[in-house]
Structure 1
Amino acid sequence: MYASKADFNLSVGHWGALDGSNEWQDCDSVVVFGLPTMPSAWAVCRYAALQGGVDTDWLASSHRPFVDHKDIRSALRSGQTDIQIIQAINRIRCRKVVDSEGNCLPSDIFILLPTGDQGDQRIETIKKAMPGIKVRDWVIEGLSAKTKTKGMQHKGSKGQTSILNYLANVPVGSYSASLLRKDIKISKSTLSRFQRTLDDIHSETRKTLLGFNVVFHKGGFGRGSDCVYEKRE
């Protein structure tokens, strides 16, 4: 999604139709929602095309070392995601040189990334591809972590941030509350507190979810019922 502050024009693009485009070269800001992820079969086909066929043991393994990579299948998929992110970012005016030192006009880039090593690695890759870029946290209303008097992060707030980051980056599909708890490793009480905030249709948390194209379906009554988060295109 691309926007120009000068006249508040808004333009929308999507993964698969961005690379090399000059359509947004005068925009001063880019907001990236969601990350492109190639299917596992893509990485297998790419590797096999360049290195030769692979056997069943290679396909079944979770450890496929190649040169400096512990698992080349994962490395190929991750690398392709990095390439597409950098391509998307550089569709705006930061791609245009404005002086003899190679500088560009000020540009703002907003991107949602997973927490932990995966997100940190994405940032380092972007910094390497775009020397001199300044990185800071993107504070979104409703996601700011509250702190206790001793400076420790409030568990409920941290859990809420983890849930929203997870839902912002998952592919299109349906995710049960129990699956979400297992993937993020949060307690049942933390998720329950989060889901109670969604009962208010005017809550900032609910609005944030809708911004991620995520719809919350509350579970029914009775044992075994489960809430579902539906990520839409």
Structure 2
Amino acid sequence: MTPNWTPLDDELTLWAEAGLRLPLWWRDDDAIAPTPALSRLDKMAANLGMPVHLAVIPARAEGGLADALTPRLVPVVHGWTHDNHAPGGEKKAEFGRHRPLVPMRAEAEAGLGRMTGLFGTDLVPMFVPPWNRIDPALLPSLAALGYRWLSTFTPRATAEAAPGLTCINTHFDPIDWKGHRGLADPDKLIAQVARQLGDRRRGLADSAEPYGILTHHLVHDAAIWAFCDRLLTRLLSGPAFVMPSLKGPTS
């Protein structure tokens, strides 16, 4: 079935008529090694002219990953081991409220150290907690350790997660994680993007926050790859402009 792009096209027309621009960025999670899927991600990024902030799992990252990255693939820190520490029956989290702060701070520090050793100045000091969940009490410690950005999922509540720690979230994930783990209903996805952009246009959401696309290259099938490519192409052909990759600490 061919997706119905009309709701998004209509919203993009309203953006054009209002002279609005949409800052756009892309995060891809769970990288650990060079793979054919990573190469495909890089090729897609090249075709779109758009960098991908690649959330790498520090404790599991292979040394060869650094050699495989191109300037389009920008490494950021994805937790530590990506292990779930939540009690049974609770939503998965590695850095959730149920853990003491001291070991979580130590793991966040270890992650930044391992990633700096692997990627050097190519590393962006962004912390991406696995499953997009984090104890708010840990946030000041992240800034003290040298992180400058935090990225989770859903629109941010404030521009700063903590003093010195800018929040840049993702807002759109095409995967049906609770179902068949393939592409979610395309028409519902299109309606979601149109609704989120409509909220920004009407001032109901933070329009200064870059709109974030979240992908997981290791689990993509052909339908997910194709939908993401068409969505990003549509946005970039309209009001969206690519947010430059984040480099180094903010001043």
| TM-score, reference length from structure 1 | 0.30
| TM-score, reference length from structure 2 | 0.29
Please identify which structure carries the higher strand content. 2
